[in-house]
């Protein structure tokens, strides 16, 4: 066990996968000489060479398509797309090819593909690099979608995705890369397909994922100082959702606040809300509250970007709202 950054957690997993299976190769924008847009592949080109750490041009539809073909041919590509906004150029490949081929071939063809991409805002990179579109991928049957929020999950989820025979999309909130946490490089990866309670509580449940987990935990600390104990559930896997864990936390607390950095309209929080209505309606003692990004393209100016995103203060207000009937 050691202290490490989130990007080190990712890099540890990439190195491990490259070492243990000669079929693995990395492909993506700046993954080679530059070491990755977020330094997740730094040093891997020197260790494994240009055949296995391959730089790609800004042509997401092309190189994701090439990776799908390589996966169909028996290789194990791990693709990095610089930002979820750029991944939109590869939607055709991911939705119409990677996600469908097992179904359309009656199980004869699998696509063991891992696609990593940065998501979220908070780094003043402007609207074209800062959106949270992970729910778009979570909408698609045939894809699995993971959202690591901790250093350990950053490592474990890459390894778990690498072992999966079907395509897995990993969305990594870009504000997490420099953050630190505990990393056990020798531990077997914890199953990523289940949600985890990061903080137990009795008064309300905060259900969240990715970059919003740390904000939710800060909000929980602030509420605890006022005698309000909230449970914080980290979804971790966005498709398939761990419905049992979502129902279980609300069954314990009877109130729910959903924190999601994507927009409210048509977002993942709406899906979780609908799930609660279908599966746990009579457990709810108050309407479900959603804390999402303001419905504008993410601003560049720091003060406007901060105002547009979920914050601990907004989460605290939402929890108090469901407790005191203000929703």
* Concatenated DSSP letters of 111-141: ---EEEEEE---S---GGG----HHHHHTST
* Higher-pLDDT residue of 327, 177: 177
Whether residues 43 and 154 fall in one domain: yes
Question: Among residues 159, 72, 177, which one has the least CA distance to residue 117?
Answer: 177
Residue range 97-102: mean pLDDT, rounded: 97
Whether 187 shows a pLDDT value over 90: the answer reads no
Name the band, by pLDDT with cuts 50, 70 and 90, for residue 189. Answer: confident
Whether residues 137 and 201 fall in one domain: no
Residue 109 lies in a domain: yes
pLDDT digits (tens, 9 = 90+) for 164-174: 999 999 999 99
Final residue belonging to a domain, choices 156, 183, 210: 183
Question: Among residues 99, 199, 198, 85, which one has the least CA distance to residue 141?
Answer: 99
Final residue belonging to a domain, choices 121, 149, 183: 183
Residue 191 lies in a domain: no
State the residue range of the domain holding 215: 196-324
Residue 81 backbone dihedrals phi, psi, to 5 degrees: -105, 130
Name the band, by pLDDT with cuts 50, 70 and 90, for residue 265. Answer: very high
Is 194 a residue of the active site?
Answer: no
Residue 189 lies in a domain: no
Residue 148 backbone dihedrals phi, psi, to 5 degrees: -70, 130
Whether 36 shows a pLDDT value over 90: the answer reads yes
Residue 188 lies in a domain: no
pLDDT digits (tens, 9 = 90+) for 219-242: 999 999 999 999 999 999 999 999
Whether residues 151 and 289 fall in one domain: no
Whether residues 255 and 127 fall in one domain: no
Whether 326 shows a pLDDT value over 80: the answer reads no
For every residue of 65-88, DSSP letters joined together read HHHHHHHHTT-EEEEEES-HHHHG
Whether residues 134 and 94 fall in one domain: yes
Length in residues, the chain: 327
Whether residues 168 and 301 fall in one domain: no
Average pLDDT, the chain: 96
Final residue belonging to a domain, choices 183, 206, 230: 183
Whether residues 97 and 233 fall in one domain: no
- Residue 46's Cβ-count burial label (10 Å; 0-12, 13-18, 19+) is exposed
pLDDT digits (tens, 9 = 90+) for 270-299: 999 999 999 999 999 999 999 999 999 999
Residue 141 lies in a domain: yes
Residue range 189-201: mean pLDDT, rounded: 95
Residue 190 lies in a domain: no
Based on the structure, what is the number of domains in the chain?
A: 2
Question: What CATH number has the domain bearing residue 49?
Answer: 3.40.50.970
Residue range 209-227: mean pLDDT, rounded: 98
Whether residues 154 and 223 fall in one domain: no
Q: What's the CA gap between 303 and 10, in Å, rounded? A: 30
Question: What CATH number has the domain bearing residue 280?
Answer: 3.40.50.920
Instruction: Give the ranges where 91-242 is alpha helix by DSSP (H).
Output: 91-93, 101-104, 134-138, 151-162, 212-224
Name the band, by pLDDT with cuts 50, 70 and 90, for residue 1. Answer: confident
Residue 84 lies in a domain: yes
Is 129 a residue of the active site?
Answer: yes
Whether 96 shows a pLDDT value over 70: the answer reads yes
Whether residues 217 and 143 fall in one domain: no
The most distant pair of C-alpha atoms in the chain lies apart, rounded to whole Å, by 60
For the chain, percent of residues with pLDDT exceeding 70? 100
* 3-state secondary structure at position 257: strand
Whether residues 210 and 157 fall in one domain: no
Whether residues 174 and 200 fall in one domain: no
Which stretch of DSSP H or E encloses residue 5?
strand 2-5
What pTM, to 2 d.p., does this model score? 0.96
pLDDT digits (tens, 9 = 90+) for 38-49: 999 999 999 999
Name the band, by pLDDT with cuts 50, 70 and 90, for residue 327. Answer: low
Residue range 56-78: mean pLDDT, rounded: 97
Q: What's the CA gap between 24 and 112, in Å, rounded? A: 10
Whether residues 126 and 234 fall in one domain: no
Query: Of 8, 29, 80, 129, which is the active-site residue?
Result: 129
Residue 131 lies in a domain: yes
Query: Of 8, 60, 80, 305, which is the active-site residue?
Result: 60
Question: Among residues 54, 47, 61, 58, which one has the least CA distance to residue 19?
Answer: 47
């Amino acid at each position: 066990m050691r202290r490490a950054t989130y990007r080190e957690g990712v890099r540890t997993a990439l190195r491990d996968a490259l070492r243990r299976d000669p079929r693995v190769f990395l492909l993506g924008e700046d993954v080679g000489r530059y070491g990755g847009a977020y330094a997740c592949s730094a040093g891997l080109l020197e260790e494994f060479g240009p055949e296995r750490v391959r730089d790609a041009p800004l042509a997401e539809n092309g190189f994701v398509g090439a990776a799908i073909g390589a996966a169909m041919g028996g290789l194990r590509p791990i693709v990095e797309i610089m930002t979820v906004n750029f991944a939109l150029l590869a939607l055709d490949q991911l939705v119409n090819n990677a996600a469908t081929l097992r179904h359309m071939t009656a199980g004869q063809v699998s696509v063991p593909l891992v696609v990593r991409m940065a998501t979220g805002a908070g780094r003043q990179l402007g609207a074209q690099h800062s959106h949270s579109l992970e729910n778009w991928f979570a909408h698609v049957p045939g894809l699995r979608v993971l959202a690591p929020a901790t250093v350990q999950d950053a490592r474990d989820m890459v390894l778990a995705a690498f072992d999966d025979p079907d395509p897995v999309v990993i969305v990594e909130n870009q504000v997490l890369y420099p953050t630190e946490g505990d990393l056990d490089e020798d531990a077997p990866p914890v199953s990523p397909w289940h949600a985890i309670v990061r903080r137990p509580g009795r008064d309300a449940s905060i259900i969240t994922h990715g970059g919003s987990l740390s904000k939710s935990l800060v909000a929980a600390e602030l509420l605890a100082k006022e005698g309000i104990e909230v449970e914080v559930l980290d979804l971790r896997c966005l498709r398939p959702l761990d419905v049992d864990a979502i129902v279980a936390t609300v069954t314990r607390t009877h109130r729910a606040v959903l924190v999601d950095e994507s927009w409210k309209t048509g977002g993942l929080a709406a899906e979780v809300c609908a799930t609660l209505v279908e599966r746990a309606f009579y457990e709810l003692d108050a309407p479900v509250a959603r804390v999402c990004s303001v419905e504008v393209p993410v601003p560049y100016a720091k003060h406007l970007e901060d105002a547009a995103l979920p914050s601990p203060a907004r989460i605290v207000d939402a929890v108090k709202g469901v407790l005191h009937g203000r929703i």
